[in-house]
Amino acid sequence: MLYYLFQYLHRVHDLPGAGVFQFITFRAALALILSLLIALVFGKQLIRMLQRQQVGETVRDLGLSGQMEKAGTPTMGGLIILLGILVPTLLVAELKNVYILLMLITTVWMGLVGFLDDYIKVFRRNKKGLPGQFKVIGQIGLGLIVGGIMYFTVMLP
């Protein structure tokens, strides 16, 4: 979004410095810094919130040493990773690029699979989570979608 805003400001109002958003190296560095800030600022708050709501991992007793230390570890921490990827991408990337769109679709899709797995573990009290066959089906489906889109966009002039 910022990409298009600064592109408009550069083209229409000739704002000094707005043209720097045209350089992918600047946008990549800005995305890196934004991602780091999001993870540092919101990560700790999200983990505390998950601990307060007791959204934690239950551990099966397998008789292994140190396994009970994981009990109560907050799950759904992938939300930090998703925020750290999606927010900077939506802010600084050129959203008309098919590869950016594929990355966003892939990230959200796999984030939903992970969320569903954690949801089943925590709220449905099923320690196994989402069955492996559904995870594989989701990944194969995503692979077919991404592969098809890439194949047909490369084939088009």
Range of the domain at 133: 2-155
Q: What is the pLDDT of residues 83-109, one digit of tens each?
A: 999 999 999 999 999 999 999 999 999
Question: Residue for token digits 């088009």?
Answer: 156
Under 8 Å between Cβ of 77 and 51: no
| Range 60-88 average pLDDT | 76
Evaluate if pTM is beyond 0.75: yes
| Structure tokens belonging to residue 10 | 């550069």
Q: Which of 8-17, 33-42, 71-80, 131-140 bottoms out in mean pLDDT, i.e. has the lowest?
A: 71-80
Question: Residue for token digits 């397998």?
Answer: 62
- CA 35, 39, 40, 44: dihedral to nearest 10 degrees? 170
Distance CA 61, CA 28 (A): 45
| Range 143-157 average pLDDT | 85
Q: How far, CA to CA in Å, does 93 sit from each of 101, 128, 142?
A: 10, 37, 22
Report the pLDDT value the prediction gives residue 126, as an integer from 0 to 100: 80
Q: What is the pLDDT of residues 4-43, one digit of tens each?
A: 999 999 999 998 988 999 999 999 999 999 999 999 999 8
Question: Total domain count for the chain?
Answer: 1
Report the pLDDT value the prediction gives residue 121, as an integer from 0 to 100: 82
| Structure tokens belonging to residue 44 | 């700790």
Look at residues 78, 81, 67 and name the one whose alpha carbon lies nearest to residue 127.
Answer: 67
